[in-house]
Structure formats: structure tokens, C-alpha cells
Structure 1
Amino acid sequence: MQKQMESKTKSNILVGLQMTCIILLLVMIPMWEVGYIALIVATGGFFLGCWAVVSMKLDNLSVRPDVRQNARLVKSGPYRVIRHPMYTAVLLTLTPLIVDHPSTYGIIVWIVLLLTLLYKLNYEERLLKNHFEGYASYMLKSWRIIPYIY
């Protein structure tokens, strides 16, 4: 029971930090001044996120890294190639906006977001490996967040 409580606390902290960074970045970037290329890449990230949500299905979706008892391992749609396409979508949506409108504060928040997502990703993968028998073999056939790189 204690371990489960610690896990939920850790998950809540990670999600809270992630959401805070996303909101801060979206608020601090003047969207009306974003260049076309940044906007096109960010829009691609948004649609990747939508595709990931549709592939995951709402009843299986969670922003928390904890694995529900009735969770299903999804290996279709973008999950065929990328194990964490929603993380990819967040980075693909926000990175071009920061590159287009760099600021010290924005870059610091983006780095905190990146580190949070990487920590959350590693934590989530440990939980998924323990929950799903086939997750280790799925890891060998897919990329974490960036195909052919990571």
C-alpha cells in the first residue's frame, strides 16, 4: 500500500511538472508572431498527438505513467514505430515555437520539460515492462520518442 501511494505521488508530481511547463511555454510564446515553418512543424506535432490518442483509445488513455490493471498494450498507429508518440508530439509541438521565439526563461522551461519527459518515460517503461509480458520484445522493435535516433 505504501509503495502504491509513493508511486501515485511520483506520478502526480511528474504530470504536474509536465503540465506546468507546457502551459508556461504556451502562455509565454506570442502565437501571432510564430513563423510559418515553426507553425507547420508544431501543427504536425499536434496531429501526431491526436493520432496517438485515437490509436490508444480513450478508455486506455492516461497522462499518468501508472499502468492500470485493465490497460492494453497498444502497438498500432504511431505506436508501431514510436513507444511514446504523445511525448514526441509534445516536443514536436513546442520545440519549433521555442526555436522561433527563443528566450532564456523559455529555454529553461523547455529543458525542465524535456528532463521531466525523459524521467517520466524511463519510469513508465519500467512499469510497462513489469505489467506486460511482451513489452521487452516490443522495445526491441520500436523507438522511444525519435525514430532512428532514440
Structure 2
Amino acid sequence: MEVSKKDKIYVLLQFLVFFAWLAEVERLKFELSDNLQGLALIIAGVGFLLAILALVQIRSKISPFPSPREGAKLVTSGTFAFARHPIYSGVLFMAFGLSVWLGSGYKLLISLLLYLLFFLKSRYEEKRLEEVFPEYEVYKRNTGRFFPKFKGRI
């Protein structure tokens, strides 16, 4: 598929949010116990591993643009069996985990903005995927967007 203007806008917004996350606002800093900071660092580490595993799994099929690449195949196994967008999930875990570990209210707010952007981008991406892969609808129904879907009661 051709890279549309909307694809380019989503990628530009994503990079702007990433750069905004790198800034800091001292007035929004907070302190946590060592235990909570450690937990936040573990969450960020899990996010890093998840994103790396998903990137390795799709290798050359990766693109920053939401529209599927020409000749792409639908991946529904591995990390993609648990979440439709495991790379986004990993990045979100990293962003939120590091924000808490660093004690940054500003970075937490930017992480929320990143979540919203990933939600909108993935919604658009899924419309494009449904155009190319008729089986995507079933996959979408059975697999969570960023987090696993739990079937039945716990």
C-alpha cells in the first residue's frame, strides 16, 4: 500500500511526542519509595523486552507507518497472539515505567498523550489491515489491542 498523508501525519506526531517525552518540567517532579521505583524499572524492562521480541518476530516487515507494506503477511503468533500491537504495548510500558522511575509527572502526562496517539494510530492501522486481510476481523475480536484479552471469569 502507498504511504498516505495520514500515515505520515501519525508518524510525525509520534516522533513529536517522543521528543516531548525527553524534556522535563521540574515543578512536576515527585519522589517514590525505592520499592516503587524498582517496580517501575521492572515494568520499563518488561516493556523493552516485549518491544524487542515483537520487532525480532516481524523483522523486515516493520514500518513506522500504519498502512501495511506491499506483500505483508498478517502475523498472529508469538507476541502478536497476546496483543495486536505488542510494539506499542512495549513502548507504553517503557514510557510509563521510566516516567515513574524518574519521578516525572510531566513524563507521565506525555505518556498518557502517547497512549492516546497509539490508540488512534492503531485504530486507523486496523482499518487498513482489515482492507488487506479479511481474517483480521476474527483476530481483532479474539486478541486485545495493547493487552491480552481474558476470556471467561477469573
Provide the TM-score with structure 2 as the length reference: 0.80
Determine whether 1:140 maps to 2:141. yes
Q: How does 1:26-41 map to 2 (within 5 A)?
A: 26-28=22-24, 35-41=37-43
Structure 1 residue runs of 5 or longer lacking an equivalent are: none
In structure 2, distance between residues paired with 1:95 and 1:108: 9
Comparing both structures, which one devotes a greater share of its residues to helix? 1
What's the counterpart of residue 48 of structure 2?
46
Determine whether 1:99 maps to 2:100. yes
Determine whether 1:75 maps to 2:76. yes
Provide the TM-score with structure 1 as the length reference: 0.82
Q: CA deviation at 1:140?
A: 2.1
Using the aligned pairs only, state the percent identity.
32
What's the counterpart of residue 109 of structure 1?
110
How many residue pairs get matched?
A: 140
Secondary structure of 1:65's match? Answer: coil
Structure 2 residue runs of 5 or longer lacking an equivalent are: 26-30
In structure 2, distance between residues paired with 1:11 and 1:119: 12
Judge conservation of contact 2:82–2:143 (CA < 8 Å) in 1.
Answer: yes
Alpha-carbon deviations, 1:63-103, whole Å to 9, x = none? 11011221110112100111100110011111122234132
- Output the amino acid matched with 1:54: V
Secondary structure of 2:4's match? Answer: helix
Secondary structure of 1:13's match? Answer: helix
Determine whether 1:90 maps to 2:86. no
CA RMSD in angstroms, aligned pairs only = 2.4
In structure 1, distance between residues paired with 2:142 and 2:107: 35
Determine whether 1:130 maps to 2:139. no
Judge conservation of contact 2:57–2:78 (CA < 8 Å) in 1.
Answer: yes
